[in-house]
Chain A
Amino acid sequence: MLKIETQQENGHDILLLQGEVDASNSVILDEAITKMVTDGCRSILVDGSGLEYISSAGLGVFMSYLEDFQEKEIDLKIYSLSDRVFEVFRILGLDQLIRIYPDKKTALSS
């Protein structure tokens, strides 16, 4: 099950992911990000502390936006991933393409 919440904080849009992202629900993540972009957000912070699992379907959603984010100068940062979820980003090399931080404080100050 996946639960997504969005919050706004000092010009940042925070996306809180809770649960598991797989091929059955990655479209919800996609829609949430699309809405943030449509609403004109400049900075997306993904709080991954509640993210227990993410398969390629979910990782692919992030990948598909990277080029657009670069063009539109939208900042994407992910923080507080568990070790096992971070390891999946690392295996794919996504840690080289997406800025990932250990916690929110570090993400905000970087």
Chain B
Amino acid sequence: MKISCQTTALSQLRVFLKKALGEMNMSDIDQHQITLAVEEVCANLIIHSHKCNALDYIQLKIKQNPGKLIFEITDEGKAFNMLDYEVPDLDKVKGEKRKGGLGIILVKKIMDEIEFESSKGTNTCRLIKWFQS
């Protein structure tokens, strides 16, 4: 799926994921959480790497391997490696009254593996969820 870098595209992303994940054998709660994790990564890219420039795009591919589901998100914006990002303590987020920082905590808690690579201006983030098959 090609996603335009504007926050209004996030609802289309959810519709796409609902259809794709609905065809797989997983619980409602798993579907919901995976949707959330993928959306959080895309929302971060849209807002921080692409500054909501609707002319920019990010690409999402879903790959099903034995025992795992891989969500590959590529873009050509400013590279952001969430693996380098130190997850803030929840009390700190509360104390600083800030609204950001929670998305990456969710992604790290929901997904089983996260990979990131950047090469020749293209960034690839892979979110991997393991399944018993």
A, B: real partners: yes
> Of B61-69, B76-84, B90-98, B114-122, which stretch is located at the interface?
B90-98
Main secondary structure of the interface of B (DSSP, over half): helix
**Closest beta carbon of chain A to B112's beta carbon, Å:** 14
A84, CB-defined interface residue at 8 Å: yes
User: Across the interface, do B33 and A88 meet the contact criterion of CB distance under 8 Å?
Assistant: yes
Cα–Cα, bound, A87→B32 (Å)? 10
Q: Which residue of B lies closest to A20 (CB)?
A: B11
User: Across the interface, do A55 and B97 meet the contact criterion of CB distance under 8 Å?
Assistant: no
Task: Collect the chain A residues with CB atoms within 8 Å of residue B97's CB.
Answer: 63-65, 67-68
User: Across the interface, do B43 and A57 meet the contact criterion of CB distance under 8 Å?
Assistant: yes
User: Across the interface, do B47 and A91 meet the contact criterion of CB distance under 8 Å?
Assistant: no
Most chain B CB atoms below 10 A, which of A23, A61, A93: A23
User: Across the interface, do B32 and A84 meet the contact criterion of CB distance under 8 Å?
Assistant: yes
User: Across the interface, do B102 and A23 meet the contact criterion of CB distance under 8 Å?
Assistant: no
User: Across the interface, do A84 and B28 meet the contact criterion of CB distance under 8 Å?
Assistant: yes
Residues of A59-97 contacting chain B, CB below 8 A = 59-61, 63-68, 83-85, 87-88, 91-94, 97
User: Across the interface, do A60 and B43 meet the contact criterion of CB distance under 8 Å?
Assistant: no
- With A22-B7, A67-B94 as contacts: A87 and B29 at CB distance below 8 Å: yes
User: Across the interface, do B14 and A63 meet the contact criterion of CB distance under 8 Å?
Assistant: no
Q: Which residue of B lies closest to A30 (CB)?
A: B99
**Closest beta carbon of chain A to B29's beta carbon, Å:** 5
Residues of A16-34 contacting chain B, CB below 8 A = 20, 22-24, 26, 30
User: Across the interface, do A22 and B10 meet the contact criterion of CB distance under 8 Å?
Assistant: yes
Pick the contact of A55: B29, B36, B109 (CB < 8 A): B36
Pick the contact of A63: B10, B46, B94 (CB < 8 A): B94
User: Across the interface, do B11 and A22 meet the contact criterion of CB distance under 8 Å?
Assistant: yes
User: Across the interface, do B29 and A83 meet the contact criterion of CB distance under 8 Å?
Assistant: yes
Cα–Cα, bound, A63→B88 (Å)? 13
6 example contacts (A-B, Cβ-Cβ < 8 A) are as follows A26-B99, A60-B98, A63-B93, A67-B94, A84-B33, A92-B90
* A-B pairs with lowest CB-CB distance, top 4: A60-B99, A24-B7, A56-B103, A56-B102
- A56-B103, A84-B32 given; name 11 further pairs at CB < 8 Å: A20-B14, A22-B39, A24-B7, A24-B8, A26-B99, A53-B14, A53-B35, A63-B102, A87-B33, A92-B109, A97-B94
